[in-house]
Amino acid sequence: MPEQRACLPPSFRLRAVAGLILLIWLVGPSLPAGASELRRTPVVRAVQIARPAVVNIRGEKTIVATTASARPEECSRRVNGMGTGVVIDPRGYILTNHHVVDGVRDIQVTLADGQSLSARLVAHDIKTDLAIIKVDSSEDLPLITIGTSSDLMPGETVIAVGNAYGYEHTVTRGIISALHRSVQVSDAQYYDDLIQTDASINPGNSGGPLLNIDGEMVGVNVAVRAGAQGIGFAIPIDEALRVAARILAACEENRAWHGLTVDADTASDGEGVAIAAVEPDSPAAAAELAPGDRITKVADLEIRRAVDFHRALLGRTAGDAVAIVAQRDGEEVTAEVTLAQLAKRSRTPGDAVWQVLGMRLQPVPAGEFQRRYQSRYRGGLAVTGVRGDSPAADQGIQAGDVLVGMHIWETVSLENVSYILNRPDFNSLAPVKFYILRKDQTLYGYLPLTTATATARR
């Protein structure tokens, strides 16, 4: 029987052509010559998504010998350092590890397109080994896609991108080996709650992204275990963003004051970040913003996380009027906050607390306290700000916590804290035990108070 040729109706052929055009559009970046779409695996796509926002960092620093046997010419020497960073703001703000830029006088950043720019250190946190640097570019820089580390699963595929041994944009693949690892990498550096992975992480990878299969950043590559093979570690991205938000908040306060404290926890529902506290007589209070409002937009920037709120305010100065959009009881409210000079704030007993402990505190109304916490404590003081490199920051106290006690005394009012700080035997109490409420948990710790810290209270 003669072979019959299938005849497709014109409408079907048109749909087939439209489908092919749609497929080509979804593929995204054009494939290299000779490459088939089958080779564009999920790992390849993830790297293509993230690569434009990954930068290489180089610099020269002076290393000082710490051994008594070192010869005079070995007491200090200059070495070349390298690392990686990720762009978190189109204006050129880059997240990396502190040890990558610590002591570097001339930080050089190479963008994915090969452009080399000088950078400056904006803020850092020694305890978590995180830092934010800034480059000045004539064009907006591409941003890393941020994911979450809250739902990571041992065994899932992850990808590391970085400047390994100076080889720029090195890509390695592996799995999540474990979560919540504590690692002591040196006498001076201890990391808590890290992601363990067998994706190769080498010197130079520090500060680079650990990606999931969707190309989202879920960790900051930070350490490799000396002498071990296939064991690397990364800071969970949720924790990294909380730290970034805190150190950026400290940068804001040095330039202008708004009086807002936002919830440091990462928002995952796309509905903005909640206001944890509003300082009395502040620009935010004058704009009638209130605790519980969820900020969804600052100026032209959509707000999903606390770090978005703080980077939206970077570079602004006293006198700037900032439009803020928030959700309140299901309705949208718009406020205009005019930033003020920090020096014009009225001095309060809380300023001594800021100097000595590194916290800004605000009384929680008794009715609100019992309604929110249903606690055996009579009341407490909301933490509205934490200064970097302070006793409070070292102990992990966060904005949004509520201080309910120090040593054997309750802290319902600022006068209670002043009483403790001004006691004649204050120095002998160190380290001072403290108690805080964080959501539905009661936590405690010890505030180490050095001689210099104690002197600041006088």
Q: Which pair of structure tokens corresponds to residue 426?
A: 């204050």
Residue 418 is a catalytic residue: no
* Token pair in block for residue 419: 């009483």
Give the chain's count of helices (H) and strands (E).
12, 24
In eight-state DSSP terms, residue 186 is S
Instruction: Name the active-site residue from 99, 124, 258, 310.
Output: 99
Residue corresponding to tokens 């400056």: 120
Identify whether 206 is a catalytic site residue.
yes
DSSP for 191-210, written as a single string: EEEEEEE-S---TT-TTPEE
Phi–psi pair at 233, nearest 5 degrees: -135, 155
Structure tokens at 310: 């703080």
What are the φ and ψ backbone dihedral angles of 217, each rounded to 5 degrees? -80, 120
Among 93, 86, 94, 202, which residue's Cα sits nearest to residue 147? Answer: 86
Token digits for 82? 């390298």
Angle, alpha carbons 165-169-172 (nearest 5°): 80
Question: How many other CB atoms are there within 10 angstroms of residue 246's CB atom?
Answer: 24
User: Catalytic pick from 177, 200, 206, 282?
Assistant: 206
Q: Which residue has the tokens 């106290």?
A: 397
Question: Could you give the CA distance from residue 296 to residue 276 in angstroms, rounded to a whole number?
Answer: 14
Say which of 129, 265, 293, 401 is annotated catalytic: 129
Phi, psi of 426 (to 5 degrees): -55, -45
DSSP bridge partners of 166: none
* DSSP labels, 391-439: HHHHTT--TT-EEEEETTEE-SSHHHHHHHHT-TTHHHHPSEEEEEEET
Each residue of 126-154: b (16+ CB within 10 Å) or e?
Answer: bbbbbbbbbbeeeeebbebbbbbbeebee
Tell the residue number behind the tokens 């808590």, with chain if given. Answer: 192
* Neighbouring C-beta atoms of residue 389, cutoff 10 Å: 13
Q: Does the active-site annotation cover 129?
A: yes
SS3 244: helix
| Three-point CA angle 128, 134, 137, nearest 5° | 150
Round the CA-based radius of gyration of the chain to a whole number and report it. 26
Closest CA to 28 of 52, 45, 51, 47: 45
Which residues are the active-site residues? 99, 129, 206
